Chains A and B, each alone.
Chain A
Amino acid sequence: MIEINQISKSFDRKVALDELSFQIPKGQIFGLLGPNGAGKTTLIRILNQIILPDNGTIRVEGKLLNESHWKNFGYLPEERGLYKSMKVIDMLVFLAKLRGMSNYDALKNTNYWLDKFDIKEWSNKYIASLSKGMSQKVQFIAAVVHEPEYLILDEPLSGFDPINVELILNELKFMKSEGKSIILSTHNMQSVEEICDDVVLLHKSKLIASDTVENLRSSVKNGLFSIRFSGNMIALANALWTDFELLETKELGNNRFQVLVRKRGERTFEDLINNLMGKLTLEAVEEKLPSMQEVFMSLITKEEVLHAE
């Protein structure tokens, strides 16, 4: 577990992080979210010991973060950069050795990952000759080649095509299943929904939310329900009456419909079921939780309003 305690950092007079405190549990994919300039990269740099905080402490497994933790951390920075004049295999071995691996282990692991990503034939290619997507893959391998316990990924999916996005997401899930902790900073909210357990949301150098993805989505839920049924729309309108508002209708054929409704007042999911029961042949009813994109927008907007007041 990583414990972040009262971390602050300023550049000249600009506050980048303001007394940030939260915990990153072991064995999870942890989302670090926030709009541009929120302080995510600063926090990531502090976690990687690239810069030091002005105040506060970070503990890893109870020990203060120090240079001995370098070998336990893997890092994929947002600003990708590799030595263009090096061959792929040399670059990866070099970076693994810097993380404390022996030459033998570095070479062995590099070959394992090149094999796993099916890019062994790139081994002797120069970095300069790689396409952006190829270079991204090499950079991802550079972050994991030394088998870190904690993996910090800053926008890991940018530059990848959908197939490779899937490949990376599956790899992250696999690493999580092996007990590794992954800290993921991204603007790709769909992937956050898909793979993140806990998330924190930073805004203007402060922490404005910290919870599981499910809890965050539930916390800003907006009373939307999805209903699939067979029958007719008049029966539906009668059933909803004044308690629920019909927003969208989709005809599925053979008198089957998919509709989206919003509750009015203090109505609940149970009220909806009671209203519908016996009036329609129900196939599915579910509460539509907001997407992480909506959660993100909602929380940021709420914070902006509060700030303005």
Chain B
Amino acid sequence: MRNSLIIAQRELRERLENRSFIAMLFIGPLLILAFIYFLLQFGDQGKTNMKVLIVDPSGLLENKISSQESKALNYYFYDDYVEIAEFKDGKRFQEFDAMIELNEKVLINKKVFLFYREAPSIDLKMKLKFEVERRVEEVMIEQFTQLSVNAFRQIKQPLNIDFRSVYDPKNEADNSSSWVGFFFGLIILFFISLFGMTVLRGIAKDKSNRVVELMLASVKSRDMMLGKILGIGWAALLQLFVWTLLVGLGLVIFKSFFFKDIFDASSFEGIQMSEEVKNEILTNSSIAKYNAFIDLIYHRINFWVMIPHFVLLFVLSYLFYASFFSAIGATAGTESDGQQFVIPIFVVLMVSVYAGYMSVYWPDSQLAHLFLYLPFTSSMVNLINISNGFAIGSYVETLFSILILIVCAWLFLSIAGRLYKNGILAYGHTLRLRNLFQWLKKS
């Protein structure tokens, strides 16, 4: 084991001295953050302030809406009919960015059209909807009902049929939590693919530059393989840690300094809203989706449970899959020869993604249960289950699944060790399944 650790240290050091590894340590998260920034900054390219002409010949909104309500919106009233073509081309209307048509039919067909010259931003669209829609609604309530505005709004919500499991009537485990687990599982699969190939290429390179002969004269082949896997695994963990840290830090900075307005409901200060109305907006808009996301990330996922399981499953899955990559690297005659044999491993990794989908959408299916215990897919399914939370009794399943993964990782490392030992000194051949079986049989 001492020699495995020495080899692992060398592998880690080699990566840390590799400029491209160091560059990717920082460029990776920077790219992710740049992408997120791009989405937040440029995702909404619409117009951010407008002069709106309200064509209201019947005086429906008279005294119910004013230009001061929102800094971004300036309303102007016109008490006659205006045709679209006239608004579009008429000289006197050119100064207006949009026209809202409110004729007397509005109260019957409940449809208001807003004609714009340049599409408004999502934020502005929402403000327009809020201000105009609600004012028209108030007129309608007054005209057609005996109810107060608040009473009307309480009953106006459409009936919703929500599908829920009898085992989870409160829908505590809705699949938004599952997607978090799925995302964590994807990270594991991504890093396994990336660093699994690094293991394969590293071993193939050692083999081609003949350094293995020298190494094997002072260390057992299994220890050498383990050292390689461990060292590259440490590099993977380090990269994962730095990426998580930098992306997390970046998101906090985005939220605190750059995109305060987007995420903060108080930015609607220009609009006079009751708390109730604010809440309603916050549950019925794109902001609501963000808030659900915040709620999911900060409140519903127990990261004190999630992170240790993620690290444990990451390590075990990496060891499990790395054994395959190292066996192929050691037994292949050339690096390109080995890459052919990698395809089945990637197919298995794809199956893991499918297992994730299965577990998100049909968590109680037999296939999802099977995937929980298969070592190829168990990390993904376990993370989905853990992100949903679990009862004390159901954790036994997770433990059993992890135990199977530990046993299989150990078993496949032993098998890979045997293939490594018998294949590492074979050069220039074309790898065939026959070779693998022969080397497996040899002691």
Q: Could you tell me if B6 and A97 are in contact, using CB atoms closer than 8 angstroms?
A: yes
* In the assembled complex, B124 has its CB within 8 A of some CB on chain A: no
Q: Is A99 an interface residue (CB 8 A)?
A: yes
Closest Cβ–Cβ distance, residue B441 to chain A (whole Å): 12
Partner of A98, one of B6, B14, B18, B425: B6
Q: Are B210 and A50 in contact, CB atoms less than 8 angstroms apart?
A: no
Is A215 engaged at the interface, CB distance under 8 Å to the other chain? no
A51 at the interface (CB under 8 A from B): yes
* Number of A-B contacts defined by CB within 8 Å: 61
A139 partner residues in chain B, CB cutoff 8 A: 214
Interface residue? A80 (CB, 8 A):
yes
Alpha-carbon separation in the docked complex, A45 to B6 (Å): 23
Contact with A along B10-22 (1 / 0, CB 8 A): 1001100110000
Q: A51-B425, A83-B14, A85-B17 are in contact. Are A98 and B210 (CB under 8 A)?
A: no
| Cβ-neighbour of A75 out of B13, B17, B211, B217 (below 8 A) | B217
Summarize B's interface: helix, strand, loop or mixed.
helix
**A77 vs B206: C-alpha distance when bound (angstroms):** 15
Name the residue among A75, A84, A85, A98 with the largest chain B CB count within 10 angstroms. Answer: A98
Report if B213 contacts A (CB, 8 A): yes
Q: Is the CB of B213 within 8 A of A50?
A: yes
Contact present for B214 and A81 (CB under 8 Å):
yes
CB of B210 within 8 A of CB of A77, answer yes
| Interface presence of A48 (CB below 8 A) | yes
Q: From residue A115, how far is it (CB to closest CB) to chain B in Å?
A: 23
Q: How far is the CA of A80 from the CA of B210 in the complex (A)?
A: 6
| Contact mask for chain A residues 27-53; partner B; CB cutoff 8 A; 1 contact, 0 none | 000000000000000000100111110
Q: In this assembly, does B73 line the interface, its C-beta being within 8 Å of a C-beta of chain A?
A: no
Q: How large is the interface on A (under 10, 10 to 19, 20 to 34, 35 or more residues)?
A: 20 to 34
Contact flags (1/0) for B212-240 with A, using CB distance below 8 Å? Answer: 11111111100000000000000000000
Task: Tell me whether B214 and A142 are in contact (CB under 8 A).
Answer: yes
A143: nearest residue on chain B (CB-CB)? B214
A160 sits at the interface (CB 8 A): no
**8 Å CB contact of B217 from A73, A83, A84:** A73
A77 B425 Cβ-Cβ under 8 A: no
Determine whether B150 belongs to the interface, using a CB cutoff of 8 Å to chain A: no
Question: How close is B397's CB to chain A, nearest CB, in angstroms?
Answer: 42
User: A97 CA to B13 CA in the complex, in Å?
Assistant: 15
Interface string of B367-407 (1 = CB under 8 A from A): 00000000000000000000000000000000000000000
In A108-162, the 8 Å CB interface with B consists of 139, 142
- Of B3, B210, B212, B218, most A-chain CB atoms within 10 Å: B218
The reply to whether the CB of B160 lies closer than 8 angstroms to some CB of chain A is no
Chain A neighbourhood of B443, CB < 8 A: 52
Q: With A48-B217, A70-B218, A98-B218 in contact, do A79 and B210 touch (Cβ < 8 Å)?
A: yes
11 extra interface residue pairs, beta carbon distance < 8 Å, beyond A70-B218, A83-B10 = A50-B213, A70-B217, A73-B217, A75-B217, A77-B210, A77-B214, A81-B212, A81-B214, A83-B206, A83-B209, A84-B209
Residues of chain A having any CB pair with chain B under 8 Å:
45, 48-52, 67, 70, 73, 75, 77, 79-86, 90, 94-95, 97-99, 139, 142
